[in-house]
Amino acid sequence: MVKQINWSPLAKGELRSLLLSSVQKFGNKEQGKIIYSLFQNALHRITLNPFIGQATEVDNIRYITPCPDYTLFYRHSLLKIEILVLWDNSHKAGKIKSIPTGKQEEASQLL
């Protein structure tokens, strides 16, 4: 049984920004397609085995680094995988104070 993948609004917005910035930076969609395929590959592996990612301090929330520049934080259950945060690892000035555990908390918990 294949698990459903849901993206939080925050993670979806970050993905959109990443893809748009890669088009602006490189002048074409090729780099964005490569990054997106890395994310898709990681998500496929997560659906096969949700415990493949590193555990966090919060129950059922794990993370995986599909490419050196980005980390996906996700929550898993029996029926679905929810992508909570797409974190840009190059942001040295900010850090995640805590991993959002609910939809209301997502925007307020990130710095």
Cβ-in-10-Å burial (0-12, 13-18, 19+) of 36 comes to middle
pLDDT of residue 104: 45
Using CA atoms, how far apart are residues 98 and 111, in angstroms rounded to an integer? 9
Going by pLDDT thresholds of 50, 70 and 90, the confidence category of residue 24 is: confident
What are the DSSP calls for 13-62, one per residue?
HHHHHHHHHHHHHHSSSHHHHHHHHHHHHHHHHHHH-GGGSEE-SSTTEE
pLDDT digits (tens, 9 = 90+) for 29-81: 888 888 889 999 999 999 999 899 999 988 889 999 998 888 999 999 888 99
Cβ neighbours for 94, distance < 8 A, ≥ 6 positions apart: 110, 111
Domain range 4-90, its CATH number among 3.40.50.800, 3.30.2310.20, 3.60.40.10, 3.40.50.300: 3.30.2310.20
Query: What backbone phi and psi angles, to 5 degrees, belong to 46?
Result: -65, -40
- Encoded tokens for 14: 């970050």
pTM of structure: 0.76
- For 58, the token pair is 């919060």
The residues spanned by each domain of the chain are 4-90
Give the confidence band of 5 by pLDDT, cuts at 50, 70, 90.
Answer: very high
Q: Which of the four pLDDT bands, split at 50, 70 and 90, describes residue 84?
A: very high
